[in-house]
Amino acid sequence: MAYSISCSGSIALDTTRTPFKTVERVLGGAASFFSLSASHFTKVNICSVVGADFPEGNWEVFEKAGVNTEDVQRITDGKTFQYDCTYSYDLYHRQANKTELNVLGTFEPKLGEASSKSEVLYLATMPPSKQKDVIRQSKGRKLTFLDTIELYMNDLYKPELLEVLETVDGAVFNDAEARMLTGEANLIKCGKKIQEFGPDIVIIKKGEHGSLLFFDGHVVPFPAYPLEDIKDPNGAGDSFAGGFLGYLASIEAVAPSIMQLKIAMAYANVMGSLAVEDFSVDKLVSVGNKEIEKRFEHYCELLHIKH
Amino acid sequence: MAYSISCSGSIALDTTRTPFKTVERVLGGAASFFSLSASHFTKVNICSVVGADFPEGNWEVFEKAGVNTEDVQRITDGKTFQYDCTYSYDLYHRQANKTELNVLGTFEPKLGEASSKSEVLYLATMPPSKQKDVIRQSKGRKLTFLDTIELYMNDLYKPELLEVLETVDGAVFNDAEARMLTGEANLIKCGKKIQEFGPDIVIIKKGEHGSLLFFDGHVVPFPAYPLEDIKDPNGAGDSFAGGFLGYLASIEAVAPSIMQLKIAMAYANVMGSLAVEDFSVDKLVSVGNKEIEKRFEHYCELLHIKH
């Protein structure tokens, strides 16, 4: 058996411009990347919203992956959230060209029965008040993680973000967010300070430079899986979180040990690395369990120093 | 038994300004950091140059560490190489205020008998022609590594640098240098391209973001040892190289295996992390083997994922 996951957050139509190729209005958004990544490990329910322009074919993508989309609201007189960005030649620097919230702007997450019973809850980036609302609706949650962005660290949102942080088991930040929230430059200090805000488990992501796990006095650094060919960095962070929580759900880890968390971090790195190897969610849906396991074994082997 | 190391490069008097403290005219320079780091593993001979202003106390530092300074030329009518820099509040960005080459500008490295017999040769940053000259003088070398800087990748020096690269077993670059030399943005591509220039073993250092090892088709990523309190980042790279080659010399690794190189990388990370925990070479000379071993074990344990 395995726990199921409930994930609330955005579904987007992404336009991604890289020096090599541009893709337009392809499936994106935190909830899409997260759920399609985690779906390799367990049953995932997503709670999100789309507009009338949402291409039919995308439903099949979720269905094939076994992701339950019952709680995705269809707003017939609205347009799907759209995100348009350009990557620099090294695919490292992203410039947002356009962010049209559309139906996401007025989204009120509502968890259906299956979602509310899920043992693992992932709150993708949303206004903290909505994350709080989802937590309230979740009846079965035993392990709750949140992600957020710099926007919610300004004076207007920060008090509420801190309130939500107090109630979750874990939080995922990128380096800039961790520094902004804590006012610390050193990332080890950042992680420890965030733990003081509430979550026992803190993850700081540094993109191609890897990630840091904070838990129970441990500070564990992880390098990124080395990749020579990156096509589209969009969604790497949410796919990372999907691998992390997907694995923990699959082993029903309510009170995970440090080693279980390290294994989860390895799967997180694997899923993040797979996501960027193709545009949109393409690699996440085409990859098989065999390839995931192979990359997981390789990652662990790379890190292992037998002395 | 163990191989001895011969190291050619700079000895400096560093003035380092950090937001917390400024130290003036303290012992620095690539050869100092490298040799004091490697001295924990094996016998090191350094070939360098100092001026009449070189403080007497510094000789004791080398002597206590067992570093042979016979080949350090004393120029009585000259001044020691001086480097003055300021670090940003996060100790990440360095601004050079003054670089006075002084006696280093006309330095002609001469290896004495002990140095020329060393099995391991480390060429710290120098003009490529001088690195070539040292290689010529080394009779006993079985494993040769070089370091360099962006300056030697411009049109004037590059042909000679490429010539030296062809003849060495290994090379150490930071990320910016690796990108500049190869014209590639992706560091994995950089490493492989540098291998094509000659060295079988390539290391790319990313400071606090860790490092990459390239050898025999393997690309192995290493995170930096997580540190909360960094005092002075000067010399981290050369201390890293000292740990790496020090370990390989200690096990007499002429044709090291990938696992031996991984262990060496772990020691490299350990020595680099120790170096930055205090100003100048202070921590490198005060640390005991017990602390080095303890940190090495901790580093390996952090990376080990038992699944």
Give the C-alpha separation, A184 to A193, whole Å.
Answer: 9
> How many Å lie between the alpha carbon of A236 and the closest alpha carbon of chain B?
17
Kindly tell me if the per-residue pLDDT of B19 is higher than 90.
no
> Which 3 state secondary structure label does DSSP give A22?
strand
Q: By percentage, how much of chain B surpasses pLDDT 90?
A: 94
The reported pLDDT for the residue numbered B125 is 95
* pLDDT per position as a tens digit, B99-148: 999 999 999 999 999 999 999 999 999 999 999 999 999 999 999 999 99
- Domain chopping of chain B, boundaries: 5-169+233-301
The reported pLDDT for the residue numbered A92 is 75
Give the C-alpha separation, A8 to A107, whole Å.
Answer: 11
Interior angle at CA A134, CA A128 and CA A137, nearest 5 = 145
Give the C-alpha separation, B243 to B292, whole Å.
Answer: 10
Whether residues B228 and A186 touch (CB distance < 8 A) is answered with: yes
Right CATH number for B5-169+233-301 from 3.40.190.10, 1.10.260.40, 3.40.1190.20, 1.10.3720.10?
3.40.1190.20
Partner residue opposite A224 with nearest CB, options B221, B224, B262: B221
Q: What is the DSSP string of A222-248?
A: EPPPP-S-----TTHHHHHHHHHHHHH
The reported pLDDT for the residue numbered A90 is 77
Kindly tell me if the per-residue pLDDT of B169 is higher than 80.
yes
Amino acid identity, residue A299?
Answer: Y
* pLDDT per position as a tens digit, B38-71: 999 999 999 999 999 999 999 999 999 999 999 9
Right CATH number for A5-303 from 3.20.20.70, 3.30.70.1150, 3.40.50.1220, 3.40.1190.20?
3.40.1190.20
Give the pTM. 0.96
Q: Which residues of A127-157 are buried (b: 16+ CB within 10 A; e: fewer)?
A: bbebbbbbbebbebbbbbbbbbeeebbeeeb
Radius of gyration, alpha carbons of chain A = 18
Taking contacts as CB-CB distances below 8 angstroms, the residues of chain A near B264 are none
Q: pLDDT grade, residue B91 (50/70/90)? A: confident
Pairing status of strand A5-8 against strand A12-17:
unpaired
Burial class (CB in 10 A: 0-12, 13-18, 19+), B216: exposed
The reported pLDDT for the residue numbered A23 is 96
Give the C-alpha separation, A96 to A98, whole Å.
Answer: 6
Partner residue opposite A305 with nearest CB, options B185, B224, B263: B263
Do A210 and A224 form a contact (C-beta atoms < 8 A)?
A: yes
Burial class (CB in 10 A: 0-12, 13-18, 19+), A96: exposed
Partner residue opposite A220 with nearest CB, options B263, B302, B306: B302
Partner residue opposite A221 with nearest CB, options B92, B230, B302: B302
Do A127 and A159 form a contact (C-beta atoms < 8 A)?
A: no
Q: Among candidates B229, B220, B161, which has minimal Cα distance to B187? A: B220
Whether residues A262 and B222 touch (CB distance < 8 A) is answered with: no
Taking contacts as CB-CB distances below 8 angstroms, the residues of chain B near A228 are 186, 188-189, 192
* pLDDT per position as a tens digit, B193-220: 999 999 999 999 999 899 999 999 999 9
Q: How many CA atoms lie within 13 A of B248 on its CB side?
A: 31
Whether residues B188 and A303 touch (CB distance < 8 A) is answered with: no
Taking contacts as CB-CB distances below 8 angstroms, the residues of chain A near B300 are 305, 307
Give the C-alpha separation, A247 to A235, whole Å.
Answer: 18
Q: Find, in chain B, the residue whose alpha carbon is nearest to that of A265.
A: B305
> Which 3 state secondary structure label does DSSP give A147?
strand
Amino acid identity, residue B56?
Answer: E
Q: pLDDT grade, residue B92 (50/70/90)? A: confident
Whether residues B305 and A306 touch (CB distance < 8 A) is answered with: no
Q: pLDDT grade, residue B261 (50/70/90)? A: very high
B-interface mutation test, from A186, A259, A299, most B Cβ less than 10 A away: A186
Pairing status of strand A170-174 against strand A120-123:
unpaired
Whether residues A259 and B223 touch (CB distance < 8 A) is answered with: no
* Beta strand spans in B184-226 (E): 201-205, 211-215, 218-222
Give the C-alpha separation, A217 to A194, whole Å.
Answer: 13
Q: Find, in chain B, the residue whose alpha carbon is nearest to that of A229.
A: B186
Q: Which residues of B touch A (CB under 8 A)?
A: 89-92, 185-186, 188-189, 192, 206, 209-210, 212, 219-230, 259, 262-263, 266, 300, 302-307
DSSP state of B223: P
The residues pairing with B51 across neighbouring beta strands, listed in sequence order, are: B75
Give the C-alpha separation, B31 to B51, whole Å.
Answer: 15
Partner residue opposite B223 with nearest CB, options A92, A222, A259: A222
The residues pairing with A47 across neighbouring beta strands, listed in sequence order, are: A8, A71
> How many Å lie between the alpha carbon of A36 and the closest alpha carbon of chain B?
24
Taking contacts as CB-CB distances below 8 angstroms, the residues of chain B near A189 are 228
Q: Find, in chain A, the residue whose alpha carbon is nearest to that of B300.
A: A305
Whether residues A305 and B262 touch (CB distance < 8 A) is answered with: yes
Per-residue pLDDT of chain A (307 residues; tens, 9 = 90+): 899 999 999 999 999 999 889 999 999 999 999 999 999 999 999 999 999 999 999 999 999 999 999 999 999 999 999 999 999 877 778 899 999 999 999 999 999 999 999 999 999 999 999 999 999 999 999 999 999 999 999 999 999 999 999 999 999 999 999 999 999 999 999 999 999 999 999 999 999 899 999 999 999 999 999 999 999 999 999 999 999 999 999 999 989 999 999 999 999 999 999 999 999 999 999 999 999 999 999 999 999 998 8
Give the C-alpha separation, B169 to B163, whole Å.
Answer: 13
Whether residues A226 and B219 touch (CB distance < 8 A) is answered with: yes
> How many Å lie between the alpha carbon of A30 and the closest alpha carbon of chain B?
26
The values of phi and psi at residue A66, to 5°, are 75, 20
Give the relative orientation of helices A57-64 and A30-38 as an angle to the nearest 10 degrees.
30
Give the C-alpha separation, A306 to B303, whole Å.
Answer: 11
Whether residues B185 and A220 touch (CB distance < 8 A) is answered with: no
Edge-to-edge, what's the strand order for the sheet holding B12-17? B22-28, B12-17, B81-87, B94-100
Mean pLDDT, chain B, whole residue set: 96
The reported pLDDT for the residue numbered B90 is 77
Give the C-alpha separation, A73 to A9, whole Å.
Answer: 12
Taking contacts as CB-CB distances below 8 angstroms, the residues of chain B near A306 are 259
Whether residues B230 and A266 touch (CB distance < 8 A) is answered with: no
Q: What is the ipTM of this complex?
A: 0.94
Sign of CA dihedral B216, B262, B152, B70: negative
Whether residues A221 and B230 touch (CB distance < 8 A) is answered with: no
